[in-house]
Amino acid sequence: MQITRLTVDGLESGCVTDEAPAFAFALASTTPGEALASAVIRVGDWQVTTHEQVGIRYEGALAPHTDYPVRVEVTGTSGATAVAETSFRTGRLERPWIARWITDAAYRTPKKQSPVPMVFRTSFELPKPVRRAWIEATALGVYELDLNGAKVGEDYFAPGFTSYANQMQVQTYDVTDRLASGADAANTLIATVAGGWAVGSFTFARKNMIYADRQALLLEVHLEFEDGSQDVLATGPDWQVSTDGPVRMAEWYDGETFDATMTPEAMTWKSVDLTSPRTTPKLLAQYGAPVRVQREFTPVTQTVSPSGELVYDFGQNFAGVIRARIRGTHGQTVVFRHAEVLVDDELFVKSLRTAKATATYTCVDGEQEYSPRQTYMGFRFVGVRGIDPADLELTALVLHSDLTPTGEFSCSNELLNGLQNAIEWGGRSNLVDIPTDCPQRDEREGWTGDYAVFATTASYNFDMSRFLDKWLRDVSAEQSRGGGIPMVVPRSGNGFPVMATSCWGDVCVLAPWAEYLARGDLGLLRRQYPTMTRFLKAAEWWSGLLSVGDQRNIWQYPFHFGDWTSPDGSAKDWIKKGKWIGTAYFANSCGLVAQIADLLGEHADAARYRAQRDEVVKAYRSVFTDGHGLLKEEFQTAYVLPLHFGMTEGDETEAMAANLVRLIDEAGGHLRTGFPGTPYILFALSDHGRVDEAYDLLLQTGAPSWLYMIEAGGTTIWERWDALRPDGTVNIADLGSGKDGEDSSGGMVSFNHYAAGAVGDWLYRRVAGIEPVEGGYRSFRVAPIPGGGLTSASGAVQTPYGRASSAWTVDGTSFELHVEVPVSTRCTIELPDGSRHERTSGTHVFTCELVRDTAGVIG
């Protein structure tokens, strides 16, 4: 037996924390049926004996800036043993800062623009050898550190995007090997701080100075010397600041302008000013997943557009920046523009709206390299002017939060494999410190509805634990007193009032529930439970407003996005469908919170929420249907939600499924669902005896459909089903008011939104057939549903206990299934012939004969 993975707060190494951490470990064994019998976890003098492998909370004492070794000794049910070790380090805890916030108080940030980056510097000497040195830093704005001519750390956009009024992250960087010590050995530390989310232009309305009037830096260099003495070098009045550094412009939407001819020697420096944040946020050691370079792309083609612009195609839409290796001359300017698609062989940028998405670089003489550091773009294509292609080597760096991939899916249909690739890349592109809606235009906000529907797919594809721990803190921090959840988190200048609204607000239930099922840590549910209950109380209050009878459980007010981005109608039409969506989502969240309450031992709450769910379900059926499965006002999502959320009974269920199929047939075999219904439409069909119809819908290639995007060349998921028309033109039709009254002069069209990629959940749970029954897959089901002409499919997930997988093939009428069950878990296998098998850890093979009807369709 082996311990294959040991983590502290989700990290295998490098954990720095200001809070009591949680441990988890995975096991592997060649002994069939092996499981954990017991484990002893030791941290210094503290130890605990446990039968758990996930969410084991440290309950010992913590001191600031201290290393804690962790040792885990496990014994399996077979008697086998294994040992693993790691460590974690504490941050400041509540130790006061010596450092002071510094800025240039004379600088005035222009209205609706991002400020010029500020450059801070200090120099210092170390007269004696250093045993250990580290930097702790945070900023209002986004910062990057340079020590003795080289970048410190790997992070982009530190300190990260949080609800700055409530909490901010502090980064810790070990710089022991970067310092020069001894006589006449000088060290120079430079910090470049751009406006970022705190000060810079944000939202399509170009609001700025949302959290601060100008940038500010807080930093300490901690020194431990070989002789045992210590010292701290801190930001304060002895530092210098300049606003004429090489980064002349940096902001999220317009890009970056860099002048390499501007050196520190040529800059104008002055003494800094002391300042302080507007509020008093908690300053905590980094608890989220930092944004870092994840891979590097080389262009697949290089062409010249009709207008004469060099165009590089990287073959994949993604979020990131270019890296240019240039042979240039002093003062030469090279311009890099970014776009998702080409139209008539030119970069199409109208859909970016006001975003310029441009990097401009002024050269020095000779060989040089440039890559933006204070911004990012969403793109596949880069247009370049100002340089001969022979003098340019262009690559691209993929940027997103540092998330461990956990899920896999593939099958015998290459279009579906392309869809899976697009789902993964849509996720990567929009998991950039917060879950954004898109990475390219003048938005990139944390829209809650987008993540609400994508949460389960995201938690399958990636280990979302640290990412969500960070973001959900902000969801809770920005919840209103009345229980409403902002449509955007962090709210950060978004114009919508904070109110309880369906699907978007339900993220406070759906996201932690999805992550619990994937990772199994009750701690997340426990932390988020008060947020969930306040939200449901708000939904209950709004449902009962000005209502009597069953109408008291119909959630109509104050506002719902409704069937957002449905192919039918405009934004106004989608919003009109809000009470159907609101009521169904209310019932679903009541049911989920009842399950969560039971898991947390809140059984009285669980009984109350189940009763409330029953009342809401009764109201939906009474008010919206004829009582026999026919909606009084029909649209696909209004059938999908009650079917998938288990709100129907008996013959009513069959009638609703038949009516949904009829609406799909009337739409020419296409879906007509928006954000709230799209994740569940295939479940609503397949789980109610309509497997063939589910596969037909999945495999539809005409617009609107998932595979239309893929056949049209999409490498990510689109915001709208018809973003690119069959004739190759981009659909930028005016949608009316849109989100937050957005400017529709460039339309509401993005080729990199992940919401419709929530279909990935059906690929994993029904095609591959892997589905958690208990949190973290401690017990799970494998029940693949073959169909759609597929001859094979496979899926795998790295659970907290180890790898779980399902792989099946069909040869004629013979079905063969391979299942991998991790140590300490159990699996129920359901074959297409209806047989059931229970298995514990190991690899298992099953076969059966498939039944086909007269048309040759698998039954």
| Residue 735 pLDDT class (50, 70, 90 cuts) | very low
Question: Residues 6 or more apart from 591 whose CB is under 8 A from it?
Answer: 609, 610, 613, 645, 646
The verdict on residue 95 lying in a domain is no
Identify the three-state secondary structure at position 49. Answer: strand
Asked if residue 704 has a cis previous peptide bond (ω within 30° of 0), the answer is: yes
Q: Rounded to an integer, what distance in angstroms lies between the CA atom of residue 461 and that of residue 798? A: 9
Question: Residues 6 or more apart from 76 whose CB is under 8 A from it?
Answer: 1, 27, 29, 31, 34, 35, 36, 37, 82, 823
Domain residues for the domain of 792 are 771-849
Considering only CA atoms, which of 493, 610, 477 is closest in space to residue 534?
477
The verdict on residue 306 lying in a domain is yes
Tell me the mean pLDDT in the region 62-66: 97
Q: What angle do CA 459, 793, 856 make, to 5 degrees?
A: 130
Q: Do residues 82 and 113 both lie within one domain?
A: no
Q: Which is the catalytic residue, given 34, 693, 719, 820? A: 719
**Cα–Cα separations (whole angstroms), residue 736 to 162, 206, 354, 581, 732:** 31, 20, 18, 21, 12
Q: Do residues 424 and 525 both lie within one domain?
A: yes
Can you give the pLDDT at residue 742?
Answer: 39
Q: Do residues 307 and 183 both lie within one domain?
A: no
| Residue 653 pLDDT class (50, 70, 90 cuts) | very high
Our count of domains for the chain comes to: 5
Q: Rounded to an integer, what distance in angstroms lies between the CA atom of residue 489 and that of residue 471? A: 8
pLDDT in tens, 317-344: 999 999 999 999 999 999 999 999 999 9
Are 302 and 312 in contact, with CB atoms under 8 Å apart? yes
> How long a stretch of residues is the chain?
859
pLDDT in tens, 796-833: 999 999 999 999 999 999 999 999 999 999 999 999 99
Q: Do residues 445 and 491 both lie within one domain?
A: yes
Q: Rounded to an integer, what distance in angstroms lies between the CA atom of residue 498 and that of residue 486? A: 5
Q: Rounded to an integer, what distance in angstroms lies between the CA atom of residue 625 and that of residue 655? A: 11
DSSP label at 730? B
Tell me the mean pLDDT in the region 558-584: 96
Q: Do residues 343 and 396 both lie within one domain?
A: yes
Instruction: Give percent above pLDDT 70 in the chain.
Output: 97
Are 188 and 66 in contact, with CB atoms under 8 Å apart? no
Can you give the pLDDT at residue 211?
Answer: 97
**Does 367 participate in catalysis according to the annotation?**
no
**Cα–Cα separations (whole angstroms), residue 192 to 42, 249, 528:** 41, 12, 36
Given a cut of 60, is residue 744 above it in pLDDT?
no
The verdict on residue 854 lying in a domain is no
Specify the amino acid at residue 138: T
Q: Which of 737, 767, 797 is the last residue of a domain?
A: 767
Count Cβ atoms below 10 Å from residue 110 Cβ, excluding itself: 11
Q: Rounded to an integer, what distance in angstroms lies between the CA atom of residue 341 and that of residue 253? A: 17
DSSP label at 289? P
Can you give the pLDDT at residue 184?
Answer: 73
Q: Rounded to an integer, what distance in angstroms lies between the CA atom of residue 441 and that of residue 449? A: 18
Can you give the pLDDT at residue 734?
Answer: 55
The verdict on residue 144 lying in a domain is yes
Tell me the mean pLDDT in the region 85-109: 97
**Does 265 participate in catalysis according to the annotation?**
no
State the residue for tokens 């004492």.
61
Tell me the mean pLDDT in the region 780-784: 98
CA 253 to chain centre: 20
Q: Do residues 623 and 756 both lie within one domain?
A: yes
Considering only CA atoms, which of 191, 190, 189 is closest in space to residue 223?
189
The verdict on residue 513 lying in a domain is yes
Q: Which of 401, 417, 449 is the last residue of a domain?
A: 401
Instruction: Give percent above pLDDT 90 in the chain.
Output: 94
Higher pLDDT, 740 or 668: 668
Structure tokens that stand for 482 in this block: 């009345």
Can you give the pLDDT at residue 853?
Answer: 59
Tell me the mean pLDDT in the region 18-34: 97
Count Cβ atoms below 10 Å from residue 221 Cβ, excluding itself: 23
pLDDT in tens, 219-262: 999 999 999 999 999 999 999 999 999 999 999 999 999 999 99
The verdict on residue 79 lying in a domain is yes
Question: Residues 6 or more apart from 666 whose CB is under 8 A from it?
Answer: none
Are 489 and 163 in contact, with CB atoms under 8 Å apart? yes
Can you give the pLDDT at residue 736?
Answer: 45
Specify the amino acid at residue 347: L
- DSSP secondary structure string for all residues of 95-114: PPPS--EEE-TT--PPTTSP
Considering only CA atoms, which of 848, 760, 768, 851 is closest in space to residue 804?
768
Q: Do residues 437 and 504 both lie within one domain?
A: yes
Lateral strand order in the sheet of 46-50? 15-17, 81-90, 67-76, 36-43, 46-50
Can you give the pLDDT at residue 694?
Answer: 98
CATH (domain of 20): 2.60.40.10
Of the CA atoms within 13 Å of residue 625, those in its CB half-sphere come to: 23
Given a cut of 50, is residue 737 above it in pLDDT?
no
Q: Rounded to an integer, what distance in angstroms lies between the CA atom of residue 592 and that of residue 606? A: 9
Q: Do residues 728 and 695 both lie within one domain?
A: yes
Tell me the mean pLDDT in the region 196-224: 97
Q: Which of 65, 90, 115 is the last residue of a domain?
A: 90
Given a cut of 80, is residue 855 above it in pLDDT?
no
Lateral strand order in the sheet of 56-57? 2-8, 22-28, 56-57
CATH (domain of 483): 1.50.10.10
**Three-state secondary structure readout of 430-497:** HEECEECCCCCCCCCCCEHHHHHHHHHHHHHHECCHHHHHHHHHHHHHCCCCCCCECCECCCCCCCCC
Can you give the pLDDT at residue 185?
Answer: 81
Are 750 and 719 in contact, with CB atoms under 8 Å apart? yes
Asked if residue 159 has a cis previous peptide bond (ω within 30° of 0), the answer is: yes
Can you give the pLDDT at residue 851?
Answer: 84
Question: Residues 6 or more apart from 70 whose CB is under 8 A from it?
Answer: 6, 8, 23, 41, 42, 43, 85, 86, 87, 88
Given a cut of 90, is residue 209 above it in pLDDT?
yes
State the residue for tokens 């229970």.
838
Given a cut of 60, is residue 741 above it in pLDDT?
no
Q: Which is the catalytic residue, given 443, 478, 515, 652? A: 443
Specify the amino acid at residue 816: E
pLDDT in tens, 487-546: 999 999 999 999 999 999 999 999 999 999 999 999 999 999 999 999 999 999 999 998
Q: Do residues 278 and 325 both lie within one domain?
A: no
Structure tokens that stand for 120 in this block: 């801070």
Q: Rounded to an integer, what distance in angstroms lies between the CA atom of residue 140 and that of residue 160? A: 10
Which contiguous run of DSSP H or E holds residue 165?
A: none
Q: Do residues 130 and 61 both lie within one domain?
A: no
Tell me the mean pLDDT in the region 154-176: 97
* β strands within 91-183, DSSP E: 101-103, 118-125, 130-140, 142-147, 150-151, 167-174
Q: Do residues 379 and 362 both lie within one domain?
A: yes
Q: Does the reported pTM lie above 0.75?
A: yes
Q: Do residues 707 and 799 both lie within one domain?
A: no
Q: Rounded to an integer, what distance in angstroms lies between the CA atom of residue 807 and that of residue 411? A: 9
Structure tokens that stand for 392 in this block: 């340019």
Q: Rounded to an integer, what distance in angstroms lies between the CA atom of residue 245 and that of residue 262? A: 6
Q: Which long-range contacts (CB under 8 A, 24 or more apart) does 626-629 make?
A: 627/652, 628/652, 628/655, 629/653, 629/654, 629/655, 629/656, 629/658, 629/659
CATH (domain of 378): 2.60.120.260
The verdict on residue 157 lying in a domain is yes
| Residue 746 pLDDT class (50, 70, 90 cuts) | low
Considering only CA atoms, which of 465, 493, 369 is closest in space to residue 798?
465
Considering only CA atoms, which of 505, 494, 484, 403 is closest in space to residue 445?
494
Can you give the pLDDT at residue 728?
Answer: 85
Can you give the pLDDT at residue 854?
Answer: 44
The verdict on residue 261 lying in a domain is no
